[in-house]
Amino acid sequence: MNGNSDNRYLMLVGKGKPIPADLEITLEEIYGTQLEKNAAFMLRQMFEAAEKDGIQLKLLSGYRSPEYQQEVFDRSVRQRVDSGMSYEEALAETEINVARPYESEHNTGLAADIVTPDDYDVFEEFENTPQFEWLQRNAANYGFILRYPKGRTDITGYIYEPWHYRYVGPYDAQRIENRDITLEEYLSEARE
């Protein structure tokens, strides 16, 4: 990366890519949850800008401890088993929908699940809202990227999540957005 990039926000966390053992983050309270302090500052700026444009956004989820992430993962498996899947099917389905602890971007404090004010869960239909449209046009200006874009599961390892935004800093977010690539592709190109 170059001098405009803030490399501390470019860590790749996901399947088989756990958070760095030496990761130190300073969390800040924001909208009833927590985010890494710079991500929180920029998210607040983004939400205020959206509001000026008549768009109301809601932060549904931010930082999650690894222990809480384990609960989320286990609950997803249980719900799928309860709906009739075998344990193996439920586990496989959960693994493309929910990250394991220490492999979740939420454990970094840099991930934000953003929804409409009326939503109390995440839904793919979020992509059909004015909130999503606004985020698609503006999130990169505040350092956030749509982390798991449509049609990129083979690259990211996770399903399309129109609500899941990741803070990478404004410089890198705009470069990723302008090139319509994933964080994986961006980091891969940087290593070449």
CATH number reported for the structural domain that contains residue 180 in this entry: 3.30.1380.10
> Does 6 score more than 80 pLDDT?
no
Contact 31, 48 (CB under 8 A): no
Selected residue with higher pLDDT from 104 and 22: 104
β-sheet bridge partners, residue 33: 30
Report percent pLDDT > 70 for the chain.
Answer: 98
Q: How far apart are the C-alpha atoms of 5 and 19, rounded to whole Å? A: 20
Is residue 89 assigned to a domain?
yes
Asked if residue 30 is part of any domain, the answer here is yes
Q: Is residue 16 part of a domain?
A: no
Closest CA to 187 of 174, 172, 169: 172
75 CB neighbour count, 10 Å cutoff:
12
User: Could you give the percent of the chain with pLDDT greater than 90?
Assistant: 86
- Measured in whole angstroms, how far is the alpha carbon of residue 111 from the centre of its chain? 4
Which structural domain, as residue segments, surrounds residue 83?
A: 65-103
Whether residue 112 is found in the same domain as residue 185? yes
**46 and 122 within one domain:** yes
58 and 82 in a single domain? The answer is: no
Q: What is the pLDDT of residue 96?
A: 87
Contacts of 20 (CB under 8 A, 6+ apart): 11
Residue 176 pLDDT = 97
Instruction: Given the residues 36, 105, 161, 177, select the one marked as catalytic.
Output: 161
Alpha carbon dihedral 128, 130, 135, 136, in 10-degree steps, equals 50
In a domain, 19, yes or no: no
CB atoms within 10 A of CB 63: 23
Mean pLDDT of 35-46: 98
Q: Is residue 44 part of a domain?
A: yes
Q: Which of 103, 124, 151 is the last residue of a domain?
A: 103
Domain count for the chain: 2
One domain, residues 50 and 139 = yes
Give the full edge-to-edge strand order of the sheet including 58-61.
58-61, 111-115, 161-167, 144-148
Q: Are residues 7 and 94 in the same domain?
A: no
∠18-102-136 over CA atoms, to 5°?
80
Q: Do residue 117 and residue 153 come from a single domain?
A: yes
The verdict on 140 and 99 lying in the same domain is no
Domain presence at residue 142: yes
Residue 103 falls in the annotated catalytic set = no
Q: Are residues 187 and 114 in the same domain?
A: yes
Q: Per the domain annotation, does 183 fall within a domain?
A: yes
- On average, the pLDDT of the chain sits at 94
Q: Is residue 86 part of a domain?
A: yes
Same domain for 170 and 95?
Answer: no
Q: Tell whether 99 and 171 lie within a shared domain.
A: no
In this prediction, residues 37-53 reach a mean pLDDT of 98
112 and 144 co-located in one domain: yes
Dist CA 161 CA 150 (whole Å): 8
Specify whether 69 is located in the same domain as 54.
no
The Cα–Cα gap between 124 and 159 comes to: 10
Identify the domain boundary among 103, 119, 152: 103
